Structure 1
Amino acid sequence: MDSDNFKAARSRLTKTQKELAQLLGISIKAIHSYEQGWRKIPHHVERQLLFLVARVINGDTPHEKCWDIQRCPKNKLAKCPAWEFKAGDLCWFINGTKCSGEAHDSWEDKMAECRKCDVFINFFKNERGIITND
């Protein structure tokens, strides 16, 4: 997530910098730094921000589950945390998912794969600027 994506997400949540800082449990100086591009946005902040945006845009609307979209075989589902926690629309949020066959070593690696995935893209498809730079 870059500074433009961060600003777009804050805007979508309709929060001031101060309100978002309080919501994320970080300082307003950190918010300023992220939005100006002075500091890299930590994975735990990006993750929480995307989760909040997901709840705002989707609320209780049911979505097709990742395992249906990806047509995961039964043996793969048995090892999948998204399946275990019945979070097929939040697979991108859960560490340890094994969409490419193995769990990722870092949040950055996971999100690099998720940003190319139809599940993630479809989930945020109407949220311009939050997951893309347009």
Structure 2
Amino acid sequence: MNRETFSHLRAKLGKTQKALSELLGVSLKAVQSYEQGWRSIPIHVERQLYFLVVNQRSEGQSKRKDCWAVKKCDKKKECPAWEFQAGHLCWFLSGTRCDCTADKNWKEKMDICRTCEVLTSML
């Protein structure tokens, strides 16, 4: 995640830097540093920010689509997203079967998920 995306998502949440730092469990200085590009954004912070945006309540929010429907997945019954009926949170779960992410570490998985239509359609 780059600093522009981070700032955009904070604005989408309607949070001040201080309020977002409290939600993310990081210091105010950390949030300021992410937005200025002085520090790289850790994967766990990126995932948590996506989680907050995806689950934000808003009027007229489009219906979330499950990953197995979007991707026409033939491995869904082997996948934790299917098992826990969390198809809109596949990017948040370990061990998903989509796009060969099962054996990836979080950094590699998020590199794939950042461009996936399941996540991007909700941001």
Tell me the TM-score range normalised by the shorter chain: 0.7 to 0.9
Give the equivalent residue in structure 2 for 1:81: 80
For residues 108-127 of structure 1, what are the alpha-carbon distances to aligned partners after superposition, in whole Å with 9 as ceiling and x for unaligned? 21122223322223222xxx
What residue identity is the alignment partner of 2:107? E
For residues 25-50 of structure 1, what are the alpha-carbon distances to aligned partners after superposition, in whole Å with 9 as ceiling and x for unaligned? 11111111111111111111111111
Please state how far the C-alpha of 1:63 moved relative to its aligned partner. Answer: 2.1
**How many correspondences in the alignment?**
122
Please state how far the C-alpha of 1:10 moved relative to its aligned partner. Answer: 0.8
Structure 1: which 5+ runs fail to align?
125-134
Identity of aligned residues (%): 49
Q: Matches of residues 2-17 of structure 1 in structure 2 within 5 Å?
A: 2-17=2-17
For residues 60-99 of structure 1, what are the alpha-carbon distances to aligned partners after superposition, in whole Å with 9 as ceiling and x for unaligned? 86422111121122xx223211111100111112122121
Please state how far the C-alpha of 1:57 moved relative to its aligned partner. Answer: 5.9
Q: Matches of residues 12-91 of structure 1 in structure 2 within 5 Å?
A: 12-56=12-56, 62-73=63-74, 76-91=75-90
Kindly indicate which of the two structures has a greater share of residues assigned to helix.
2
CA distance in structure 1 between the aligned counterparts of 2:57 and 2:119, rounded to whole angstroms: 13
Q: Does 1:118 align with 2:117?
A: yes
Across the aligned residues of Structure 1 and Structure 2, the Cα RMSD in angstroms comes to: 2.0
- Which deviates further from its counterpart, 97-106 or 83-92? 97-106
CA distance in structure 1 between the aligned counterparts of 2:10 and 2:30, rounded to whole angstroms: 13
Query: Moved runs in structure 1, 4+ residues, more than 3 A?
Result: 57-62
CA distance in structure 2 between the aligned counterparts of 1:102 and 1:32, rounded to whole angstroms: 31
Distance 1:7 1:101, change over 3 A: closer
Structure 2: which 5+ runs fail to align?
none
- Pick 1 or 2: higher relative contact order, CA cutoff 8 A, min separation 6: 1
CA distance in structure 1 between the aligned counterparts of 2:48 and 2:40, rounded to whole angstroms: 15
